[in-house]
Amino acid sequence: MRDKIVAGNWKMNLSFEEAIHLATTLNGWVADNQPIPQVIIAPSAIYLQTLLEGVDEQYIKIAAQDVSTHEKGAYTGEISAQQLDSIGLDYSLVGHSEQRQYHGETDETVAQKMEQLYAHQITPILCIGEQLEERQSDRHFDVVKNQLLQALKPQIVENLTNLIVAYEPVWAIGTGQTASPEQAQEMHAHIRQVLLEEFGVELANNTSILYGGSVNASTAEELFSQPDIDGGLVGGASLKYEDFTQIITSIKA
């Protein structure tokens, strides 16, 4: 059966010292509060190795925020899946809407990144979600289905063992406008149905589907009590120890 997961996407925030302090404090809290859902944090790339060494992986997993489409070579500024694997990293976000918006990420590049991650046994946290106008014009179910299927090309599905999906409606990210539990649940059920129809019951049942977009300490509990919401991908609130720990306790392990 699938895991309950609360992941914090730190985006481009925190100094080195702040990152270490938050990660180690969280590590201590998670250790003291078992059983607890799986906690994952995704810091900036320059902190990955230090945090991998600084936390206990039985309590906190570390994820990259992005990965290159390429295996290796002359791609200045990029980080390959092979390199992430070489420092012992097991998770990476892929397809985040901020990458799609600011760095020309397309469904095609997301599929290439997925392929790289699977080639190096790194579990993708695949981010999908519609824009406001797509929801307003009632295209949100089709848009999300298409993003999901484009990312899961046949050569990827062949190797599909672990998959985490994060449904993050773009209009809810950083806006304070959380999707309602009903809106989120119906999309999560849709995503699980697509996984079921296309790839079978095992993948549909075993894939944790996280909700992301302005999750905070007061909205988390109702969101996480929905049957197809297996946890959250939290941005801003994951930078605050009190808020993030409260969000984690909002879900039953």
- Interface with ligand 13P includes 117 (CB under 6 A)? no
Q: Are strands 91-94 and 123-128 parallel, antiparallel or unpaired?
A: parallel
Q: Is 158 a catalytic residue?
A: no
Task: Label each residue of 182-239 as H, E or C.
Answer: HHHHHHHHHHHHHHHHHHCHHHHHHCEEEEECCCCCCCHHHHHCCCCCCEEEECHHHH
Q: Which of 105, 115, 130, 168 is flagged as catalytic?
A: 168
164: three-class secondary structure by DSSP: strand
The tokens describing 26, both together, are 């969280």
Least distance to ligand 13P, CB of residue 178, Å:
8
Q: Which residues contact 125 (CB under 8 A, 6 or more apart)?
A: 7, 40, 42, 63, 91, 92, 93, 94, 164, 165, 166, 210, 233
Residue closer to ligand 13P (CB basis): 14 or 119: 14
- Interface with ligand 13P includes 125 (CB under 6 A)? no
- Interface with ligand 13P includes 164 (CB under 6 A)? no
Q: Which residues contact 15 (CB under 8 A, 6 or more apart)?
A: none
- Interface with ligand 13P includes 173 (CB under 6 A)? yes
Q: Which of 96, 120, 140, 188 is flagged as catalytic?
A: 96
Least distance to ligand 13P, CB of residue 120, Å:
22
- Interface with ligand 13P includes 231 (CB under 6 A)? no
Least distance to ligand 13P, CB of residue 132, Å:
14
x/- string (CB under 6 A) for ligand 13P, residues 50-69? --------------------
Nearest to 239 by CA among 217, 222, 210, 223: 217
Residues 78-107 binding ligand 13P (CB under 6 A) are 96
The residue from 27, 68, 214, 219 that contacts ligand 13P (CB under 6 A) is 214
- Interface with ligand 13P includes 39 (CB under 6 A)? no
- Interface with ligand 13P includes 212 (CB under 6 A)? yes
Q: How many residues bind ligand 13P (CB under 6 A)?
A: 14
Least distance to ligand 13P, CB of residue 141, Å:
21
Q: Is 96 a catalytic residue?
A: yes
Residue/partner pairs of 77-85 with CB below 8 Å, 24 or more apart: 79/45, 80/116, 81/113, 81/116, 81/117, 81/119, 81/120, 81/122, 82/116, 82/120, 84/48, 84/120, 84/122, 85/120, 85/121, 85/122
- Interface with ligand 13P includes 168 (CB under 6 A)? yes
Q: Are strands 231-234 and 5-9 parallel, antiparallel or unpaired?
A: parallel
Least distance to ligand 13P, CB of residue 13, Å:
10
User: So which residues are the catalytic ones?
Assistant: 96, 168
| Interface residue list for ligand 13P (CB under 6 A) | 9, 96, 168, 173-174, 212-215, 233-237
